Amino acid sequence: MNSDSKNRIECLREQLHTHNYNYYVLNQPTISDIEFDQKLKELQDLESQYPEFFDSNSPTMRVGSDISEGFKQVAHKYPMLSLSNTYSESEVTEFYERTKKLINEDVELVCELKYDGTSISLTYENGNLIQAITRGDGEKGDDVTVNVKTIRSIPLKLSGSGYPALFEIRGEILMPWQVFDDLNKEREAQEEQLFANPRNAASGTLKLQNSSEVAKRKLDAYLYYMLGESLPGKTHFENLQKAKSWGFKISEATKVCKSLQEVFDFINYWDKERKNLAVATDGIVIKVNSLLQQMNLGYTAKSPRWAIAYKFQAEQACTRLNSVSFQVGRTGAVTPVANLDPVQLSGTTVKRASLHNASIIEGLDLHIGDMVFVEKGGEIIPKIVGIDKQARLLLGDKVKFIKKCPECGTELIRVEGEAAHYCPNEEGCPPQLKGKIEHFVSRKAMNITAGVETVEQLFDKGYIRNIADLYTLRWEDLLLLERWGEKSAKNLIQSIENSKLVPFERVLFGLGIRYVGETVAKKLALTLHNIEALETVSFEELITIEEIGDRIARSILDFFANQNNQKLVNRLKSYGLNFQIDEQKVVKSSNKLDGKSIVISGTFAKYSRDELKIMVEQHGGKNVASVSAKTDFILAGENMGPSKLEKAQKLGVKLITENDFLMMIE
């Protein structure tokens, strides 16, 4: 009986995988929805009856579960870099000519649609999906495998043959326009905040903690790049065609171009035709077809040299300007926002547009009641790019930038060399105070489970006035507020307690020092090791740290010169936050690299670049960014930058592998 049941389960799984592929990838269903649902129900019943035949890639996993854990972070085997953007045919020509010159041979290009969704990396082992990771920061991302399994256009098991035993394929997860519109209608009916665009909706959906809810959102996916050690083809296009035969959804709008004119023909065709697509696109991706040429071209720190993105010119719409409001951010920057008659643009309803700063307003010569041209060029909030002056009938008041903060009434200032106006009242302006707390509790900083609404409620009720006040909250006090139960109150308090374990570099980022982002905070932590060193560091010492220039250095010095900030940091210290780097990251293990200047370039199999940099310092070495005659050696990984390689050869600088380096410091 068990044997018969097992055979029936395997038969149903195979049938349902095929029907999923026919419906969601080929768009050619061969059975009715009712028949499909009946087969799925039968399989669910059998799997429930015989749990010993469980398979994590069964078609029943597509419906998701209401039990999901928080997402763990996973390092990418290959960094997920972004593409350089171009906006004109002349820039595409420059890319083409530069590429030919670098490799000194003819180049064949592949053109693809640039889908506007959220990037994903899928790993398959022996034909089974084993992991799905978001882009994250490019070096590591969130493991969203459970949620990705609900996307029916992504194969859980591959069909056909010839696929590598282990490989990675990357693509874009999308929310179709129709699904996006339906979702926003539902949210509007329930008086929930609307999604700004399908990209945000897809990204937000992928991070939901309830995979059954993800399944309801009907996400789609297109795959566009394969990585691995045993790929079947020698060109990018060959590999895409192979991937298609294994069940992946590969865009039909993919073309091998043998000349620049063919590239421009492709761009011009899809610039018009994209408006008829079911999903959002914002450009064309142009890639070198040969994998050998890709490898020889390599990467810059941020993007591959063998690919670029051509961005379509943003769509425009004309509508009426009704008023201008001014918003204050956490750094005190004041942003003017135009309030408009609703207008359709790039598939969404636009009611507001950014005016950026006083110079933009002055340059546009805006008046209330003007008919304005609105553009949406990859921004959530569109911008006004011009005025239809011929449409002026009754001229309203001229739009002028305000002189005082709209929230606290403080006289605004404008820093020399900067376009923005600022409210200098850091300690008393409510949006700045709330914004600093929102930044502090954010996931990339302290990861405290308090959203914008929670921060606003706690602030408005007088429970918190700054980030240190979070550590004085008691769950019993939270119960006195609306919408708080014992469980949610204790969860927040536990989350605050857990934040005391957050590493120093994230605490430093959470302080919200102007211009100190994630990367700069990490550099400061690795170089200075603790908050006391940062409080007493000089301007001259700061600007010697990689990526820190005059502006960032002055901002850091100004922050720690402020007595209120000093008191704030001291309070946070007293509550037990982590204000020194993990000793294992900085403890000196040996003197083997004493006095040596080392450049690290490329990608590595065993460790990330940041981890290798820590090892260099642990053994007495110094990390330097560029190759010079003073460089002792280059730790060279895969896809080392051609310019660094050329300079190393010219200067006679030695190159060593990751294994050589590890043997050197053992």
Task: List residues with catalytic annotation.
Answer: 114
Q: Which of 216, 195, 22 is nearest to 117 (CA)?
A: 195
Q: Give the separation between CA 16 and CA 28, rounded to whole angstroms.
A: 14
Q: Give the separation between CA 450 and CA 178, rounded to whole angstroms.
A: 32
Strand (E) positions, 175-241? 220-227
386 beta partners: 373
Q: Give the separation between CA 475 and CA 518, rounded to whole angstroms.
A: 31
Q: Which amino acid is at 381?
A: I
Taking every pair of Cα atoms in the chain, the longest distance, rounded to a whole number of angstroms, is: 84
The 10 Å Cβ neighbour count of residue 435 is 20
DSSP 3-state percent helix, strand, coil across the chain (nearest 5): 40, 20, 40
Q: Give the separation between CA 433 and CA 499, rounded to whole angstroms.
A: 20
- The alpha carbon of residue 376 and the mean position of all alpha carbons in its chain are separated, in whole angstroms, by 20
The 10 Å Cβ neighbour count of residue 54 is 10
CA separation, residue 197 to residues 211, 276, 283, 354, 583 (Å): 21, 17, 16, 16, 44
CB 542, CB 549: distance < 8 Å: no
**430-441 and 452-460 helices cross at what angle (nearest 10)?**
130
DSSP helix/strand/coil, 338:
strand
Q: Give the separation between CA 56 and CA 239, rounded to whole angstroms.
A: 27
Q: Which amino acid is at 476?
A: E
3-class secondary structure for 231-263?
A: CCCCEHHHHHHHHHHCCCCCCCCEEEECCHHHH
Q: Give the separation between CA 182 and CA 530, rounded to whole angstroms.
A: 51
Q: Give the separation between CA 365 and CA 400, rounded to whole angstroms.
A: 9
CB 509, CB 521: distance < 8 Å: yes
- The alpha carbon of residue 548 and the mean position of all alpha carbons in its chain are separated, in whole angstroms, by 23
Strands 348-354 and 597-601: unpaired
Say which residues have a Cβ less than 8 Å from residue 605's Cβ, sequence separation at least 6: 637, 638, 658
Q: Which amino acid is at 44?
A: Q
Enter the tokens of residue 152. Answer: 């029916």
Q: Which amino acid is at 197?
A: N
Say which residues have a Cβ less than 8 Å from residue 97's Cβ, sequence separation at least 6: none
DSSP helix/strand/coil, 396:
coil
Q: Which helix (H) or strand (E) holds 433?
A: helix 430-441
